[in-house]
Amino acid sequence: MGEPSTRRRVILALPALLPAAASLSRSAVAAVRGDEVMYVGGTMQHIPDKTEGKLALDAPNAAEFNCEKGRFTIPFKGITSLEYGQKSGRRIGVAIAISPIALLSKKRKHFLSIGFQDEKGVGQGAVFELSKKETHAVITALEAKSGKKVEFESDDARKHYEKEAR
């Protein structure tokens, strides 16, 4: 009897890796869905990075991010910049749990960075991850209410945004 084949070693090791795959954070293996957004990070010290919540855009003067940890507002007239970009991430957790073939698939995330001045005139910034279906509506509303046009971090991001608008 020789040494086990590579395939057999992988199959034998898989049960030991499953708990690690299960413990990966939701943000590591899945994109934001529905009308949820994720505050990825920024200058809001009282809201932890990677916090999911809702971004309300229906008030006349400000957008409001609400989550279990708190809330903050972004005055529409205080918005100084809007930037949309994407980032692809390999589905490592899925690949470990299901199949190495999943390593070849990519997921596309949708990030909106907002530079703004708060009610006190202090410069602030927030980066949100948006769901694919909400990206165009959120950006369109912010452009209309702030008077600022979104900038794209790349031509690929612009093409994808324009494709989703159709």
Please report, for the chain, the start and end positions of each structural domain, with discontinuous segments joined by +: 31-91+100-165
pLDDT higher than threshold 90 for residue 141: yes
Determine contact, residues 40/129, Cβ cutoff 8 Å: yes
Instruction: Give the residue with greater pLDDT, 16 vs 1.
Output: 1
Pairing of strands 51-56, 62-67: antiparallel
Stated length of the chain = 166
- Say whether pTM exceeds 0.85: no
CA atoms 130, 134, 135, 138: torsion sign: negative
Judge contact between 31 and 38, C-beta under 8 A. no
Using DSSP, state whether 132 is helix, strand or coil.
Answer: coil
Q: Mind listing the pLDDT tens digit for each residue in 83-132?
A: 999 864 443 344 444 445 444 545 678 999 999 999 999 999 999 999 98
pLDDT surpasses 90 at 75: yes
Check whether 80 has a pLDDT greater than 50.
Answer: yes
According to the model, what pLDDT value does residue 70 have?
96
Whether the per-residue pLDDT at 166 is higher than 70: the answer is yes
Cα 158 from Cα 166, distance rounded (Å): 13
pLDDT band at residue 21, thresholds of 50, 70 and 90?
very low
**Whether CATH 2.30.29.30 fits 31-91+100-165:** yes
d(CA 149, CA 154): 15
